[in-house]
């Protein structure tokens, strides 16, 4: 009777167990934090240095119109995981 | 807003506001679009290629939520990169007035360089258009030398219609110099103007 070779796996018991859902949640909050800081910086620069109010407003609208749906998708998919 | 902060002099007229050529931003945005689409293309290849080659179904639908999360996150970061490019493009500009050139260089966020050059102190204005793309799209580098207590040069790349821009600056310079020749006290500091 053939027996499969036994491979000793490295002992990783010292690593804290982190379920996939927790990793996704952690990642999501990291991205959200980065997004919030970035949005603040972007707002500051356009508010302080832009030469045209219409372009500034259009930039804010475009930025939020693209990024908020993506964040909603991330929230939706992370709640399923 | 920028023009309020520049604190233009009384009767100072803005002749032109110049930004870099559109090709500069389009080429950067194309790079970001390729970056954004990379995981979607890789995913498509990863799912479809095994099917085509060996009829193997990888059952990607089991990981639909994870894949959606990663792609949405990736697209979010790509969108933010695109807005960085747009911000740098739009906030990086030259304001040419009838008295000076204000060169605003937005290198990065929190890395901004504003230089003001008075037209009467400008000496040589040069432009160069190098290569096929610059010639085809008519953009190039403009550089100028100023004379003063400390001689300095300024240079800006990717400027549209550099020959026209050079002519505009030259015209404004000539007009300013003739104005100063007619009213010699105009360009002097207040204490010496009264002497």
Asked if A48 lies within 8 A of B72 by C-beta distance, the reply is no
Please tell me the distance from the alpha carbon of residue B164 to that of residue B46, in angstroms, as a whole number: 51
Q: Mean pLDDT, 10 residues at a time, over chain B (195 residues)?
A: 72 90 96 95 89 82 88 96 96 91 87 87 88 94 77 82 92 88 64 44
End-to-end CA distance of chain A: 42
Helix (H) or strand (E) holding B102: strand B100-108
Q: Report the SS3 class of residue B143.
A: strand
pLDDT in tens, A49-66: 888 899 999 999 999 999
Say what the pLDDT of residue B195 is.
39
Give A59's contacts in chain B (Cβ within 8 Å). 83, 86-87, 90
Give A81's contacts in chain B (Cβ within 8 Å). 65-66, 69
* Torsion angle of C-alpha atoms B172, B173, B176, B178, degrees rounded to 10: -110
Say what the pLDDT of residue A33 is.
96
Gap from A12 CA to chain B (nearest CA, Å): 25
Asked if B65 lies within 8 A of A78 by C-beta distance, the reply is yes
């Amino acid at each position: 009777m053939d027996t499969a070779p036994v491979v000793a796996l490295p002992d990783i018991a010292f690593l804290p167990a982190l379920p996939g859902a927790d990793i996704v949640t952690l990642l999501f909050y990291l991205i959200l934090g980065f997004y919030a800081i970035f949005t603040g910086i972007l707002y500051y620069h356009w508010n302080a240095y832009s030469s045209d109010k219409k372009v500034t407003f259009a930039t804010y609208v475009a930025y939020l119109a693209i990024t908020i749906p993506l964040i909603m998708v991330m929230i939706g998919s992370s709640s399923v995981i | 807003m920028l023009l309020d902060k520049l604190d233009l002099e009384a009767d100072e007229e803005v002749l032109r506001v110049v930004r870099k050529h559109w090709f500069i931003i389009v080429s950067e945005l194309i790079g970001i679009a390729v970056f954004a689409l990379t995981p979607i293309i890789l995913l498509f290849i990863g799912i479809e290629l095994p099917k085509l080659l060996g009829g193997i179904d990888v059952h990607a639908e089991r990981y639909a939520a994870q894949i959606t999360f990663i792609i949405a996150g990736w697209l979010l970061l790509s969108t933010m990169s695109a807005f960085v490019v747009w911000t740098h493009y739009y906030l990086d500009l030259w304001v040419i007035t009838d008295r000076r050139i204000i060169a605003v260089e937005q290198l990065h966020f929190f890395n901004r360089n504003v230089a003001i050059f008075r037209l009467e102190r400008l000496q040589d204005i040069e432009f160069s258009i190098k290569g096929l793309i610059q010639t085809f799209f008519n953009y190039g580098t403009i550089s100028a030398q100023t004379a003063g207590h400390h001689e300095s040069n300024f240079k800006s790349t990717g400027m549209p219609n550099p020959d026209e821009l050079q002519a505009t600056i030259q015209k404004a310079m000539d007009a300013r110099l003739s104005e100063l020749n007619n009213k010699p006290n105009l360009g002097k500091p207040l204490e010496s103007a009264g002497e």
